[in-house]
Structure 1
Amino acid sequence: MNRPTLHRIAFALALTSSLAACRTVGPDYAVPAGSAFQRPEANAAFIDTANPQVAPGAELPARWWELYQDATLNGLVEQALRDNVELKVADANLRRAAAVYEQALDAGGFEYEAEAGVSRAQLSAESFLLEHELPPINLADGKFAVSYQFDLFGKLKRASEAARADEQSVAAAMDLARVSLVAQVAGSYVEICHANHELHVAEHSLQLQQRSREVTQRLISAGRGTPPELARANAQVAMLEAALPPLQAQRQASEYQLAALLGRTPGQLPEGVDACDHAPTLAQPLPVGDGRALLQRRPDIRQAERKLAAATARIGVATAELYPDIRLGASLGAAGLLADFGEPLTQQWSFGPLISWTLPSSGTHARIHATEAGADAALAEFDHSVLQALRETQTALSRYAHDLQRLQSLQQAQAQAALAAEQNRRLYQGGRTPYLSSLDADRTLVSADATLAQQQAQVSRDQIQLFLVLGGGWNADAAPTTSTPTGAQTVVPTVSRQAASRHTTTQQH
């Protein structure tokens, strides 16, 4: 190799090294100080937590459903987390996102290429300005090339950052699906139990009214009753019978929903589930933690934060289009007649940098502005998810407290209605009060029983809804999964993009 050639190669290497000193363009990821996630009020204790049935300072356990101490519920949750179809879809989406991230990591760097070919060819005589036809010849060529793409301005780095954040966002979506699934399973099971309980209450009320009708019939036979009293008794029995079909339909709908959540067809429920008539209850105050723990735990907040990170990284990807791509490559090979292949006359090689630069246009700047707007939208979605989580939690806490107060009042009302109905029934049977008094007392008791049963079901729903909005049950300690999601336990970082900074930072050489 002659000296001028060595000088050119040395210059190319020096130029490449100088360009390699360039820094990554685009904004670094930083959470704005004014973000809702950073507000002290959002990270403080919840308000309106005077309810003795909640524990504001207690940490929500990963397997929150085990607080009910119900083996059947535990088994249903485990089965749903293993066999649910929607979770399998989420798992597939996560594996796809992980593969995309691997592709982004593999971009740039060293690339290798090998080519080889043998052919028999007839060359054109006229292309060589000859008047006679050339004989067919055997040709061969082969080449091995290696090149290295320098990520001088961080385009590939930003692209991998975006892909990584996308993967973590999908992982958070899977966690969110798991949280929702556990709450739906618990809710469906509780609905079955309460529907059976309400059916038992309605059937018991019906039996009492049927016995009251029999007493009325006997009194009429003894000359102490009247036909209108019997008609009223028949009407009350019919009204109670009409209350049974809706409760039966509600129970069946919950059974079908639970079967679907378990990955089964309607009617395929584990043994004993459809016979539950006492819903599980909490043996301790419900742990709710505080705002900071909530924001760190909720998967939807983590998903929105990762989308913000991805949108921020894409600003750098778009900004890097303003600058050239530079590769350093070398190749070694041979081409010529097959008989002479490999001889010095057929050998060829090359080495040097390749600069590719598409001069920026207004479209390039427009793409940068579009990615900046996308990051601003992602930040707004992040703030919205934080405020939404706080609103949902406070609403659930308030509703739970008020429904508990109503339940306590209804329990007292039911006890008094039962006492009044029993006393009026005895007075009527003894001929000391008219039938209408006994009938009104029975109606009051029936209404009190039904309302109390409905309120008990509502309190159970409130508990599960509160567990749902608290965002528990997604992490690795909570339940088995079909795969180990990458980044599943990512905690919302304390820094991300400074949205107040509207300038794309273009680092210089």
Structure 2
Amino acid sequence: MPVPQTPPRAVAVAPLLAALVLAGCANQTPFALDSATAVPSSWAAQDAVQTAGSATAQPPEPLHQWWQQLGDAQLAGLITQALQTHTSMRGARAAVEQARAQLEVQAAGQLPAVDASGTAQRSRSAGSTRNNFQLGLDASWEPDLFGRIASGVRASQADLLAAQEGVAAAQVALAAEVAVNYINLRSQQQRLQIAQQNLAAQRETAQIAQWRVQAGLASAVAAQQARTIVEQTAAQLPALQAGMAQSRHALAVLTGQPPAALDEALAASVPVPQPPATLALAFPADTLRQRPDVRQAEQRVRAAWERVAQAEARRLPSLRIGGTLGLQALTLDALTGGGASVASLLASVSLPVFDGGALRAQVRVQQAALEQARVGYEEAVLLALQDVEDALVALRGERQRLERLGAAAEAAANAALLAQNQYASGLVDFQTVLDTQRTLLSVQDSVASSAAGVATGHVRLYKALGGGWQAL
């Protein structure tokens, strides 16, 4: 009995089965991100605010809408509007859509491609005319033997996640910028009121000095000195008013409006938003997981890792399977009536043999890009830790400064009142009155600036902690 021969179709399919087995056995080293940066267990300046892990063991504050803790509804409304309309947010969202579309492009490479085609040919030879009509479907598919296509998909997924983290980072920066400009506006309004109040008191003193000069009880020098301090104080008002206008313009643009759109809404003077007395912080490691810029840097490392694997897979064999299924006829009526069926199947394997070292160099290119991404991640971690520590130190120093300035302002107010009363009674010279009034204005202005500095310090701390966004 003759030995049965292997059918030709089985011989053709055998290499395909072997390729699929290889694809199933292909394995890639899993992604791992090792940072050389040692993350501390707690903040060095943790005494600046009440921290998690203290004696009370408070959980960290929710930071995704930290501006609600400032108790200013107008500020909250401005931040909400800015997050919806500012150009940075629209640009970041467009980057997400671009990354999502690129992911779809990469994922489509894992599926078969099918094209429809139709041809009509008319030829004449040796006095005879011949027609040929064809309709068909052409299909092709590349099995992902060594994970090249899958690596590209995973790289695009990491790019999409990095773009989404970019939206979060834009939210963090924008919310903080709106809050800082709003605090500056309210601080300048308060400083303007202080200057106007001191100007009124100085004008009263100047009037008293003028009366004493007219009565022959003082020289004209005293009146000119009084006029000098009045004009110096009045000269501060235009600068404060200009600063207020610039802050209003900045807030309008941040909320997607023309510069003068908020002039009326923000004209009334209101107190500077007051931050909470204490703030429970997350641990450094938790903060790094919260900050979108650190998370974005991590995703960039992941994308670079996958592109190294993709470049290495390009140096390995690749398999492509293609086929055609269609109809062919000599006349159009015969074609639409069924025609003759035509089918073909083709499998091809390709292996780079000599390319002048281009593929090997491309691997090195991606490896260098991976190293750059890793360095960028370590830099993001270090800068995040520095941001929090700097914000804590600055906040602690500003609080101490405000406490001292408050005591100084109280003493300066008492000194100015006593000096004015004693001058009216002729007990002190006019220079003492001028010195106390000048000191009072300076100290009160410093108190207002320091109070705004404390509020701004909280905003910068919230930003450093990665507050201002919420994961979906």
The question of a shared fold, defined as TM-score above 0.5 by the shorter chain, is answered with yes
Question: Aligned to 2:275, what secondary structure does the other structure show?
Answer: coil
Question: Aligned to 1:437, what secondary structure does the other structure show?
Answer: helix
Map of 1:218 onto structure 2: 211
Question: Aligned to 1:335, what secondary structure does the other structure show?
Answer: strand
In the alignment, which of 42, 49, 54 is matched to residue 45 of structure 1?
Answer: 42
Distance 1:226 1:270 in 2: 46
Map of 1:485 onto structure 2: none
Map of 2:56 onto structure 1: none
Question: Aligned to 1:50, what secondary structure does the other structure show?
Answer: helix
Map of 1:357 onto structure 2: 351
For the 8 Å contact 2:123–2:130, the answer to whether it is kept is yes
Distance 1:345 1:313 in 2: 49
Distance 1:4 1:354 in 2: 27
Tell me which amino acid in the other structure corresponds to 2:298. Answer: E
Distance 2:388 2:339 in 1: 80
Percent identity among equivalent residues? 27
Change in 2 beyond 3 A, CA 1:224/1:381: same
Map of 2:74 onto structure 1: 72
Q: Does 1:434 align with 2:429?
A: yes
Change in 2 beyond 3 A, CA 1:326/1:112: same
**Per-residue deviation at 1:342?**
8.4
Distance 1:271 1:134 in 2: 90
For the 8 Å contact 2:123–2:131, the answer to whether it is kept is no
Map of 2:7 onto structure 1: 7
Map of 2:411 onto structure 1: 416
**Per-residue deviation at 1:29?**
1.1
Tell me which amino acid in the other structure corresponds to 1:60. Answer: E
Distance 1:253 1:4 in 2: 92
Which structure is higher in RCO with an 8 Å CA cutoff and minimum separation 6? 1
Question: Aligned to 1:141, what secondary structure does the other structure show?
Answer: strand
Tell me which amino acid in the other structure corresponds to 1:79. Answer: Q
**Per-residue deviation at 1:104?**
1.0
Map of 1:227 onto structure 2: 220
**Per-residue deviation at 1:321?**
1.1
Structure 2 counterparts to residues 460-479 of structure 1, below 5 A: 460-476=455-471
For the 8 Å contact 1:161–1:313, the answer to whether it is kept is yes
Distance 2:97 2:5 in 1: 49
Tell me which amino acid in the other structure corresponds to 1:262. Answer: T
Distance 2:183 2:367 in 1: 47
Change in 2 beyond 3 A, CA 1:349/1:392: same
Distance 2:338 2:467 in 1: 72
Distance 1:345 1:207 in 2: 103
Structure 2 gap segments, 5+ residues each: 54-58
Distance 1:25 1:257 in 2: 54
Q: Deviations over 1:25-64 (max 9, x none)?
A: 65431112x432xx3x34x11112213x443454131211
In the alignment, which of 219, 226, 238 is matched to residue 245 of structure 1?
Answer: 238
Question: Aligned to 1:105, what secondary structure does the other structure show?
Answer: helix
For the 8 Å contact 1:25–1:319, the answer to whether it is kept is no
Change in 2 beyond 3 A, CA 1:438/1:102: same
**Per-residue deviation at 1:388?**
0.5
In the alignment, which of 380, 396, 409 is matched to residue 391 of structure 2?
Answer: 396
Structure 2 counterparts to residues 32-431 of structure 1, below 5 A: 32=34, 34-36=35-37, 39=38, 41-42=39-40, 44-51=41-48, 53-57=49-53, 58-61=59-62, 62-119=64-121, 121-123=122-124, 125=125, 133-269=126-262, 272-338=265-331, 341=335, 346-361=340-355, 362-431=357-426
Q: TM-score, normalising length from structure 2?
A: 0.92
Distance 1:213 1:365 in 2: 85
**Per-residue deviation at 1:448?**
0.9
**Per-residue deviation at 1:135?**
2.9
Change in 2 beyond 3 A, CA 1:295/1:218: same
Question: Aligned to 1:465, what secondary structure does the other structure show?
Answer: helix
Question: Aligned to 2:309, what secondary structure does the other structure show?
Answer: helix
For the 8 Å contact 2:95–2:163, the answer to whether it is kept is yes
**Per-residue deviation at 1:332?**
2.1
Change in 2 beyond 3 A, CA 1:204/1:56: farther
**Per-residue deviation at 1:284?**
3.5
Map of 1:483 onto structure 2: none
**Per-residue deviation at 1:82?**
1.8
Distance 2:69 2:268 in 1: 22
For the 8 Å contact 2:165–2:292, the answer to whether it is kept is yes
Q: Deviations over 1:112-148 (max 9, x none)?
A: 12212234x233x3xxxxxxx4233322112223333
Distance 1:343 1:90 in 2: 55
Tell me which amino acid in the other structure corresponds to 2:18. Answer: S
Question: Aligned to 1:274, what secondary structure does the other structure show?
Answer: coil
Distance 2:442 2:243 in 1: 19
Change in 2 beyond 3 A, CA 1:269/1:54: farther
Distance 2:103 2:261 in 1: 40
Q: Deviations over 1:314-367 (max 9, x none)?
A: 011111111122122332224352266489995432124122333253111111
For the 8 Å contact 1:216–1:229, the answer to whether it is kept is yes
Distance 1:5 1:304 in 2: 59
Question: Aligned to 2:46, what secondary structure does the other structure show?
Answer: coil
Tell me which amino acid in the other structure corresponds to 1:55. Answer: T
Q: Deviations over 1:439-498 (max 9, x none)?
A: 11111111111121221222222111111111111115xxxxxxxxxxxx5xxxxxxxxx
Distance 1:144 1:5 in 2: 33
Distance 1:5 1:116 in 2: 39
**Per-residue deviation at 1:243?**
1.2
For the 8 Å contact 1:192–1:277, the answer to whether it is kept is no
**Per-residue deviation at 1:438?**
1.3
Distance 1:270 1:45 in 2: 44
Distance 1:224 1:76 in 2: 57
Change in 2 beyond 3 A, CA 1:384/1:200: same
The two structures, once aligned, show a CA RMSD in angstroms of 2.2
Q: Deviations over 1:346-405 (max 9, x none)?
A: 543212412233325311111101111111110111011001100111011001101111
For the 8 Å contact 1:45–1:56, the answer to whether it is kept is no
Change in 2 beyond 3 A, CA 1:18/1:122: closer
Distance 2:187 2:452 in 1: 6
